Amino acid sequence: MKVYILEDESHILQYIISLVDDNPHLELVGYSTSIAKAKLELPNLQPDLILSDIQLEDGNSLSLFSEIPTDLQIIFITAYDQFALQALNLGALAYLLKPLDTDAFTAAIEKCHQKTEKFKVQKQQTQLALQHFAAPQFSKKIALRSTDVIEIVNIEDILYCNSDKGYTTFHLADKSKILVSKVLKEFDSLLPSPLFFRCHQSYLINTNFLKKYYKDGQIEMCNGAIIPVSQRKRAELIAHIDANF
């Protein structure tokens, strides 16, 4: 089977490539760290199987697969363990959780290989998955796993999140904080838009608690916290404010 990989974390990408190279059923025909590049390459390469992350730096891969009419199978390799999995089952052959388990990967590939015919990712199914994943009827709660406890938090009580060195801190309306050993990227799609806005590589804010925007590129939250807005996000934030307030 011809395989294409879509993954933007370099160490995971290299590990997946090594697994593909070691599997006699697989032939690597290409890989990308961005959705934009994959969108250009996939129609020409026409792989039988795509191994894909969900949330990449330049967007959500579900939207890509709903746009490309091609015969393929998809295995999602993801860090998400809530909300998204039900949606993925609608349009994907399988999903594997990070860190990637070699035996689980081999079993999923064997499942692909045993199929005598390629199966098509039905556009209707994938669109349903995309709608489920991005729909406004998100769960009102999120489970945050710290070192000693799992805390169930109302999404509307989250003021903002900030990341640092592989950890994400959740700042809550009651002034408490929860430190989670996951990067901010993993919560980007779990926290619904337009309520939450990624204003900076290290910050994701709840716009309900936005108090002021300063034209020098800073946000003041209702608790007095000052948060930077990246240069490329400033125009988008102003448009977001104009559209939603």
Alpha helices (H) along the chain: 10-22, 35-45, 61-67, 84-91, 102-113, 123-134, 185-188, 234-244
175 φψ region: left (φ > 0), alpha (ψ -120 to 50), beta (else): left
Say if residue 180's pLDDT is above 90.
yes
How confident is the model at residue 117, as a pLDDT? 44
Residues 98 and 155 both lie in one domain: no
Say if residue 137's pLDDT is above 60.
no
Q: Which of 134, 163, 197 is the last residue of a domain?
A: 134
Say if residue 79's pLDDT is above 90.
no
Residues 78, 101 contacting (CB under 8 angstroms) = no
Mean pLDDT score, 74-96: 66
CB atoms within 10 A of CB 103: 7
Residues 113 and 18 both lie in one domain: yes
Residues 85 and 199 both lie in one domain: no
How confident is the model at residue 116, as a pLDDT? 35
92/16: higher pLDDT? 16
How confident is the model at residue 6, as a pLDDT? 96
How confident is the model at residue 3, as a pLDDT? 94
Residues 68 and 154 both lie in one domain: no
Alpha-carbon distances of 192 from 55, 87, 102, 197, rounded to whole Å: 14, 15, 32, 9
Query: 112 pLDDT band (50/70/90 cuts)?
Result: confident
Mean pLDDT score, 134-163: 83
List the domain range (segments joined by +) for residue 207: 141-244
Looking at the structure of the chain, the number of domains it has is 2
Question: Model pTM?
Answer: 0.49
DSSP one-letter code for 100: P
